[in-house]
Amino acid sequence: MLRPLCIIQILLLAFLANESESSNTHLHRYMLDTYKPQHNRKTQMNYKRRRTVRSDHEMAIDPNNPNNPNNPNNPDSPDNPNNPNNPNNDTVQYGHSKEPVVTLTNSDKKVPLHELMVRLYQQNKYICMGTVISEMLVITTSTCFNLASSDVVTMKMYDDEVLEGKRVALNQTYLKGADPMLVAIQLTKSPKNSKVTGDTVKLCDSELEIYEPIELPLWIRSRHSIHSQTTYIIPMQACRLRMRDPEAMVATDTMICVKNMKYTAQCQLAMGNPLVHDERICGINVAGHNCPAYTGVDLYIRVYDALAFSIMGMEIIKNSRIEDTIL
């Protein structure tokens, strides 16, 4: 009698298990009772514990948080010996600085930066800044434009001279191999008072190091002048922490992240402003300043002299005397 009963129970369990898989239900066995469906799989997911997000205040006071400025391991911490803002490091004066000058390639003349900066307009509306790097070429960033933007751009020089230009492909310029976010604008005519006639502006010819001093200029439209500060490059990891961009969706490895010591309560649309180092243009701002919220850092795409990079690479190979190593 017991044996047939056991066989029936086994068959019943197999049937219920098959029904559970086919109907996506979760079954619980109650004591002294048969199996009953409790809830479906979607409901089961609602029972899972959710990870809680700590508030900004909780993260700020956490001593183990690498983004906490009081953590000595934080690259931005004043107590970090590698941080140029360390009080023991007095080799560079950081903060407000004079307007940068930029050196020309052929003549070695020095030009005040404001004479190279232009304001860009489309449909009579200001969109961002650009920088003259040759007699007929202006550079800026693609974040100044949207997909529907025309290639035709109107520009105004520091003396309000109006220029017309058109966006062109980078491979049509001497900026071949530059960052895809870099935009080149070909002028229809040379500016009247340009000091770059028959010349070009020097661009970076080497990689910028972490914590290297840098000149961060910002064109103030209301004052028609440049506000500049001496600051430094911070590690990209620290930059992503500040921007809450752990997946590097915005701050990519090809960019330069710079500490901006100027506090602003609102977003400053500083896109297109250049980054200057050693009297050379080394970057172009792509995300403004403190946009959309305060971060204390600015992002730049790299601008460099591809020919100088190639020559420097050949010199390194030449000086390394690889043939001696092989022989």
What pLDDT does residue 265 have?
75
Query: What is the residue-wise DSSP string for 40-85?
Result: EHHHHHHTSPPPPPPPHHHHHH-TT-TT-TT-TTSTT-TT-TT-TT
Which pLDDT belongs to residue 53?
44
What pLDDT is recorded for position 110? 95
* SS3 (DSSP) at 285: strand
pLDDT at 177: 75
Do 61 and 68 form a contact (C-beta atoms < 8 A)?
yes
Model pLDDT, residue 96:
82
The per-residue b/e assignment along 242-257, b for 16 or more CB within 10 angstroms, e otherwise, is bbebeeeeebeeebbb
Q: Which amino acid is at 185?
A: I
Name the nearest CA neighbour of 299 among 264, 263, 262, 273.
273
Coil, strand or helix: which one is 111? strand
**Can you list the alpha helix ranges (DSSP code H) found in 122-196?**
none
Full-model pTM: 0.68
Low-confidence spans in the chain with pLDDT less than 50: 23, 25-31, 46-53, 55-57, 60-61, 69, 78, 87, 309-317, 322-323, 325-327
State the pLDDT at residue 322. Answer: 47
| Number of CB atoms found within 10 A of residue 226's CB | 18
Handedness of CA 15, 21, 24, 28 (dihedral sign): positive
**pLDDT score for 188:** 94
Nearest to 116 by CA among 207, 187, 222: 187
Q: What is the pLDDT of residues 146-158, one digit of tens each?
A: 888 889 999 999 9
Give the chain's domains with CATH numbers: 101-187 (2.40.10.10)
